Copies of this chain bind each other. A is one copy, B any other.
Amino acid sequence: MNARRRRRGGGRAARQALRTARVIEQQPFLTRRMSRTEMLSQEGMELVEHNADTLLEEVGIELMNFPEAVSIYGAAGADVDGTRVRFPRGMCRAIITASAPSSFVQHARNPARSVTIGDPHMVFAPAYGSPFVRDADAGRRYATIEDFRNFAKLTYMSPALHHGGGTLCEPVDLPVNKRHLDMVQTHVVYHDKPFMSSVTQPERAQDSVDIVKIVFGEDFVRDNTVLMGLCNANSPMTWDYAMLGSAKVLAENNQCSLITPFIIVGAMAPVTVAAAVTQTLAEAMAGMAFTQIVRPGAPVIFGSFAASMSMQSGAPTFGTPEPALVLLCVAQLAARLGVPFRSGGNLTASKIPDAQAAYESATTFLPALAAGVNFVLHTAGWLEGGLTMGYEKFVLDADQASMMSRLVGGVDLSENGQAMEPLLTNGPGQHHLGTAHTMANFEDAFWVSSQADVDSFEQWELNGSMDSVGRANVEWKRLLAEYERPELDDAIYQELAEWIAVRKASFPDSEV
């Protein structure tokens, strides 16, 4: 089988997918043509960078259950003290800037769906990791593999989602020790966009790598990045075996690690924006440096996830100004470091896709646009602080995402864009509805929402006074009904199924 995979090589599967894929509408990933918001001054950034280095030098990083990582850091020049490593000032930055790519391509099995991650681009992926799902008909319930597949289908059908994401929801009906195989298999089979590795254990990251070798061929995977894994720090100042071990597997295989301090400000970090930013920088630099020590040049993304907190309950809160400030500041620091940045998403604490959900989501997503985030996880579906993946919320968020290439794409200042001819020839008080310029440009002049109702009040009432949720409910059902699986080479499909069956049989049975 290895020989067969080796022979295939060079993205044969990818080329095949391109030849046979149905034409499904897809927007290209975004290219920004506007300034990045500057929340920190030059001096402010230097202060935070200095403080992060102090933190790495004096406190350092605790490695949980991962003695090998301690040795790896030590051999690269860190000060080792048991399970703690401390970093001479500037060490992590020097390692990162020496080899981490500022931008890279993550390949999809359909080459037309491959994405470039890094400035000036932005890539949107669906939400990640919810144990529950919700729709307007059935309410909230535990997620199953059926839900997972539904969200893979919806992602495929959503033109504004450039990336397939990872744990679209947690299929709790499947055994914990095997479900990662079903999830990765679903990403391969149900859509043709780039997707994410399992990272719950390094062995599962390795399973993910082995699967993409079947799909893309071993040679192609050796030379190209087709997987991205979400590796969260155990803030404050701790990395564990599951996450950093997965990052090691991915880096060794030239695949991408998304190194993300996950901070509820006031709980995992001191209760100020500057402290959360400082700690995020320190933890992320340690993690990113690790990937570059393991394999210089391995693609890595600087991630940041920050939430505020309810003073009453300690629950994380979203759509508040403080996490937006953290996002804007860390984006500036990531740009200075010269690595791609991940943050943002349509985050909310609301249980349902109401006005609260939308306001909170926009107050994370729009700052992510202003910050020039390169990879936006949780773009669509997130409810209830990430506990729930919502069907209607998914549709509403994806609709919002579909406008964003225009919002960051700058202003057309071509002759046609300037429109001096109609401006000068259409007299005062004369409307522009029927001019030749309007007729020539009207069809593509405005982004059109697929979800907003812009009818008159009377027409809207005649149509049943439907709200956003009602319309989105109709839409996700339509998308699932119209879904057709993108073509995949039969041989790959079979080899993948066989490999997964053998792999599953190697695990003990486990309780769900």
Contacts and interface: CB of A to CB of B under 8 A. Distances in A.
Contacts of A453: 349-351, 356
Contacts of A35: 35, 37-39
Contact of A266 (B54, B359, B388, B433): B433
A134 B461 CA distance: 14
Interface string A40-69: 100010011001001100111110100000
A429 B237 contact: yes
Interface residues of A, number: 124
Contact of A451 (B54, B351, B356, B442): B356
A236 interface: yes
A329 B411 contact: yes
Given A355-B358, A454-B315, A454-B349, A59 B418 contact: no
Interface string A423-434: 110111111110
A34 to B, nearest CB: 5
A118 interface: no
A370 B267 CA distance: 29
A394 to B, nearest CB: 12
Interface stretch (A12-20, A194-202, A402-410): A402-410
A352 interface: yes
Contact of A362 (B275, B363, B447): B363
Contacts of A324: 407
Contacts of A186: none
A417 interface: yes
B446 A406 contact: no
Contact of A469 (B58, B355, B432): B355
A308 to B, nearest CB: 4
